Structure 1
Amino acid sequence: MSQPLWQKDGVRIDEGIMRFLAGDDVLLDREFFLHDIAASKAHVEGLARIGVVSADEAAALARELDALAEDFRAGRFVLDEHYEDGHSAIEARLTERLGDTGRRVHTGRSRNDQILVATRLWLKERLEALETHCRAIAQVCLDRAAQPALPLPGYTHLQRAVVSSTAMWFAGFAEGFIDDALRARQTRAWIDANPLGTAAGYGVNLPLDREHVTAALGFARMQVSPVCAQLSRGKFELAALEALSSAMLDLRRLAWDLSLFTTAEFGFVALPAEYTTGSSIMPNKRNPDVVELLRASYAPVAGARTAIEQLLSLPSGYQRDLQFSKGALVAGMRHGLMALALVPDLLARMSWNEAAMRAAIEPSMYATDVAIEQAAAGVPFRDAYRAAAQAAASAGAGRTPEASLAARVSPGAAADLRLDELRARLGRLDG
Structure 2
Amino acid sequence: MEKLWQKDYSQNKLAETYCFGDTALLDNVLIVPDVLGSISHAQMLCQIDVLTKEEFKKLKHALIEIIKLEKKRKFKVELGDEDVHTKVENYLVSKLGDLGKKIHTGRSRNDQVLTDLRLFTKENLFKISFLCHRLVSSFLDFADKYKLVPMPGYTHMQKAMPSSVGMWSGSFAESLTDDLNMLKCAFIINDQSPLGSAASYGVPLVLDRELTAKLLGFKRVQSNSLYAGSSRGKSHLIVMHAALQIMLTLSRFASDILLFTTSEFNFFNVDKTLSTGSSIMPQKKNLDVLESLRARTHVVISFEQSIAGIIAGLPSGYQGDFAETKYPFIKSIEMVKDALSICKLVINSIEPNTQMLKKSFTPEIFAVHASYLLVKKGMPFRDAYKKIGKSLGSLPLFDPAEIIKLSTHLGGTGNLMLKKARKNAQKSKIWWKEKHNYYLNILKKLGVSYERKN
SS at the partner of 2:309? helix
Distance 2:36 2:406 in 1: 59
SS at the partner of 1:152? strand
Cα-to-partner distance string for 1:368-416 (whole Å, 9 max, x where unaligned): 011123224332111110011112222234x210221111122101111
Query: In structure 1, what is the equivalent of residue 291 of structure 2?
Result: 292
Residues 111 and 198 of structure 2 are in contact (CA less than 8 Å); yes or no, is this contact kept in structure 1?
yes
Query: In structure 2, what is the equivalent of residue 401 of structure 1?
Result: 400
Does the alignment pair 1:370 with 2:370?
yes
SS at the partner of 2:161? strand
Query: In structure 2, what is the equivalent of residue 22 of structure 1?
Result: 20
Distance 2:47 2:376 in 1: 75
The residue correspondences of 1:128-139 to structure 2 (distance < 5 A) are 128-139=126-137
**Cα distance, 1:185 vs structure 2:** 2.1
SS at the partner of 2:29? coil
Query: In structure 2, what is the equivalent of residue 330 of structure 1?
Result: 330
Distance 1:123 1:150 in 2: 41
**Cα distance, 1:326 vs structure 2:** 0.6
**Cα distance, 1:207 vs structure 2:** 1.0
Query: In structure 2, what is the equivalent of residue 275 of structure 1?
Result: 274
Distance 1:330 1:18 in 2: 22
Among residues 81, 87, 92, which one is paired with 1:94 in the alignment?
A: 92
Could you tell me which amino acid in structure 1 is paired with residue 413 of structure 2? A
Distance 2:293 2:393 in 1: 38
Residues 21 and 79 of structure 2 are in contact (CA less than 8 Å); yes or no, is this contact kept in structure 1?
no
The residue correspondences of 1:227-246 to structure 2 (distance < 5 A) are 227-246=226-245
Distance 1:396 1:219 in 2: 64
Distance 1:68 1:129 in 2: 23
Does the alignment pair 1:39 with 2:37?
yes
Distance 1:212 1:113 in 2: 16
SS at the partner of 1:41? helix
Query: In structure 2, what is the equivalent of residue 103 of structure 1?
Result: 101
Cα-to-partner distance string for 1:54-112 (whole Å, 9 max, x where unaligned): 11111110011111121122122221023111101111111111111000000000000
Distance 1:55 1:84 in 2: 31
Distance 2:251 2:190 in 1: 26
SS at the partner of 1:154? strand
**Cα distance, 1:6 vs structure 2:** 1.4
Is there any run of 5+ residues in structure 1 with no aligned partner, and where? none
Cα-to-partner distance string for 1:277-310 (whole Å, 9 max, x where unaligned): 1111221111111121122220121121111111
Could you tell me which amino acid in structure 2 is paired with residue 20 of structure 1? Y
Distance 2:134 2:234 in 1: 28
**Cα distance, 1:53 vs structure 2:** 0.7
**Cα distance, 1:347 vs structure 2:** 0.5
Distance 1:227 1:364 in 2: 63
**Cα distance, 1:263 vs structure 2:** 0.5
Could you tell me which amino acid in structure 1 is paired with residue 258 of structure 2? S
Could you tell me which amino acid in structure 2 is paired with residue 63 of structure 1? H
Query: In structure 2, what is the equivalent of residue 342 of structure 1?
Result: 342
Query: In structure 2, what is the equivalent of residue 258 of structure 1?
Result: 257
Among residues 103, 123, 126, which one is paired with 1:125 in the alignment?
A: 123
Size of the aligned set, in residue pairs, is 428
**Cα distance, 1:128 vs structure 2:** 1.5
The residue correspondences of 1:56-95 to structure 2 (distance < 5 A) are 56-95=54-93
Cα-to-partner distance string for 1:309-330 (whole Å, 9 max, x where unaligned): 1111201101101111111111
Distance 2:53 2:351 in 1: 63
Instruction: After superposing the two structures, state which structure 1 stretch, 273-282 or 42-51, moved more.
Output: 273-282
Could you tell me which amino acid in structure 2 is paired with residue 73 of structure 1? K
Distance 2:357 2:212 in 1: 59
Cα-to-partner distance string for 1:338-372 (whole Å, 9 max, x where unaligned): 11112122102201111111111100111101112
Distance 1:179 1:72 in 2: 36
Instruction: After superposing the two structures, state which structure 1 stretch, 234-243 or 295-304, moved more.
Output: 295-304
SS at the partner of 1:40? helix
State the identity as a percent.
Answer: 34
Distance 1:223 1:373 in 2: 62
Distance 1:75 1:248 in 2: 31
Cα-to-partner distance string for 1:100-138 (whole Å, 9 max, x where unaligned): 100000000000000000000011111122212221111
RMSD (CA atoms): 1.2
SS at the partner of 1:424? helix
Could you tell me which amino acid in structure 2 is paired with residue 389 of structure 1? G
Distance 2:301 2:420 in 1: 32
TM-score norm. by structure 1 comes to 0.97
Query: In structure 2, what is the equivalent of residue 321 of structure 1?
Result: 321
Residues 364 and 394 of structure 1 are in contact (CA less than 8 Å); yes or no, is this contact kept in structure 2?
no
Query: In structure 1, what is the equivalent of residue 187 of structure 2?
Result: 188
Residues 46 and 213 of structure 1 are in contact (CA less than 8 Å); yes or no, is this contact kept in structure 2?
yes
SS at the partner of 2:28? coil
Distance 2:142 2:75 in 1: 47
Query: In structure 1, what is the equivalent of residue 359 of structure 2?
Result: 359
Distance 1:379 1:45 in 2: 78
Could you tell me which amino acid in structure 2 is paired with residue 422 of structure 1? A
Among residues 115, 140, 156, which one is paired with 1:142 in the alignment?
A: 140
**Cα distance, 1:226 vs structure 2:** 0.5
Could you tell me which amino acid in structure 1 is paired with residue 82 of structure 2? E
Distance 1:332 1:24 in 2: 18
Residues 201 and 229 of structure 1 are in contact (CA less than 8 Å); yes or no, is this contact kept in structure 2?
yes
Query: In structure 1, what is the equivalent of residue 114 of structure 2?
Result: 116
Could you tell me which amino acid in structure 2 is paired with residue 269 of structure 1? F
Could you tell me which amino acid in structure 2 is paired with residue 100 of structure 1? D
